[in-house]
Structure 1
Amino acid sequence: MDASLWKILGGPSLASKGAFLNDGGGKKNVLLVIAHPDDESMFFAPDIGYLISQGHNLHVLCISTGNANGLGDTRKEELYLASAVLKISTQQAKVLDHPGLQIINFDDFGVSGHCNHRDVHRGVRELLHKVSDRHLEAWALASNKILRKYIGPVDIWLSILFAKI
């Protein structure tokens, strides 16, 4: 079965409904697209907290349940619980789990090189390309070099130091 993120999201009808556009009151609707449950907490919790604190309306679209070990239903419920903790309405969190998108952001490296993370990034880029006539923004989580991932507290110190330069 051939499926694209664009087709599943509803093609041009979704964008024309204003699903990702400013609501007119300065508050933006923000769509976070993740590969599987836990990505929202592992990689995006600080960004989510910031956006919510600024009054933005956050939605989460999860491409799959991450059912690698038969725990897809459990992981899906964990996404809804995490959304509630992160102050995202559970009605604004959706898990597609479409069979044509099982191997489908992040940036092009996908933080850890995970194929699902990388494919989500590519799918969002394709979506933006197809709706280039709309005013949509997409942000990507920048992957750090492998060394930075494993030096822990030293990375925090280095990040602060380089942010001031």
Structure 2
Amino acid sequence: MAWILLIGFLIFLWFVSLCKFLLVSRKTSSNHFMKNGRTHQKRNVLLVVAHPDDESMFFTPAINFLTSSGHNLHIFCLSIGNADGKGNIRKRELFQACAALKIPWQQVKTVDHPDLQDGFGKVWDHNLVAKLIEEEISSLSIDMIITFDNYGVSGHCNHRDVHYGVRKLLHDTSQRDIEAWELVSTNILRKYSGPVDVWLSMCFSILHKNGTMQCFVNKHPRRSFLAMAQHSSQWVWFRKLFVALSSYTYMNTLRKIK
């Protein structure tokens, strides 16, 4: 009897959270995110990821906010995901996914460097990562970077190396004045709570009234599925389950990198 009540409560909580999510998604999220004296000015934003499909699995709420707000979003992917020898296929899939996310193909770039190959245990040189990102910033007049935090959502070493490369760039170069934000990694319960995490994410955002943490509710959650489905070589059952259950499909929390 207790198990039935618990399951019933969880289903009820999921349903209420989904309704809350749909209500919140109709409102403007993160009103202060693009301010700092540039409220009416388009910003050039660089989303730095490690592999094709990172953008669709983890960053779609932020992507949808930026594109719908009219900002110039560029995707910079530091590998072609060639761990299984499917690099060229995955590169093509990235462009298809970005089209589903309303990002022009001209604003998507991949890197296939011999020292930045996809794979667990393949540590990337943070200096090289920082150098490549700096070149991209200079060529595109970027004024904001978004990337992973130091855990990288899944703990993948390549995700973490991208984070540390961005940090090195900010610390060691003339690009210190670039605004940079990291996607906050959550514990496993929150990660797989789907829209239920909207409650905690919004609370944490409210507590940081100084603007160092921002929440993005995904106004087009169906677009997450459409984009991830373009990565057909990766679109296996457990990734379909991940996209359905992941809180990152419904909500992104970004924290300012100091």
Identify the TM-score tier after normalising by the shorter chain: 0.7 to 0.9
> Which of structures 1 and 2 has the larger relative contact order (alpha carbons within 8 angstroms, sep 6+)?
2
Q: Which amino acid aligns with 2:106?
A: Q
TM-score, structure 2 length as denominator? 0.50
**In the alignment, is the contact (CA less than 8 A) between 2:76 and 2:108 conserved in 1?**
yes
SS in 1 for 2:154: helix
Unaligned runs of 5+ in 2: 1-37, 118-122, 125-146, 208-258
Partner residue in 1 for 2:87: 72
Q: Label 1:157 to 1:76 Cα distance change in 2 as closer, same or farther (>3 A).
A: same
Distance 1:156 1:31 in 2: 25
Cα displacement string for residues 63-117 of structure 1 (whole angstroms, at most 9, x for unaligned residues): 0011111111111011101111111111111100111122432100110111010
SS in 1 for 2:46: strand
| In the alignment, structure 1 residue 140 sits paired with structure 2 residue 182 | yes
Match of 1:30 among 45, 58, 75: 45
Partner residue in 2 for 1:97: 112
Cα displacement string for residues 120-153 of structure 1 (whole angstroms, at most 9, x for unaligned residues): 0001111111234653111100001122112334
Q: Label 1:29 to 1:163 Cα distance change in 2 as closer, same or farther (>3 A).
A: closer
Distance 1:59 1:30 in 2: 6
Partner residue in 1 for 2:56: 41
Unaligned runs of 5+ in 1: 1-22
Partner residue in 2 for 1:116: 158
Give the root-mean-square deviation of aligned CA atoms: 2.2
Q: Which amino acid aligns with 1:73?
A: N
SS in 2 for 1:32: strand
Distance 2:194 2:74 in 1: 30
How far 1:162 moved relative to its partner? Answer: 6.2
Match of 2:194 among 136, 139, 152: 152
Distance 1:88 1:54 in 2: 13
Partner residue in 2 for 1:126: 168
Determine what percentage of the aligned residue pairs are the same residue. Answer: 63
Distance 1:57 1:41 in 2: 18
Question: After alignment, is 76-85 or 97-106 more displaced?
Answer: 97-106
Distance 1:152 1:49 in 2: 17
SS in 1 for 2:92: helix
Q: In terms of Rg, which structure is larger?
A: 2
TM-score, structure 1 length as denominator? 0.77
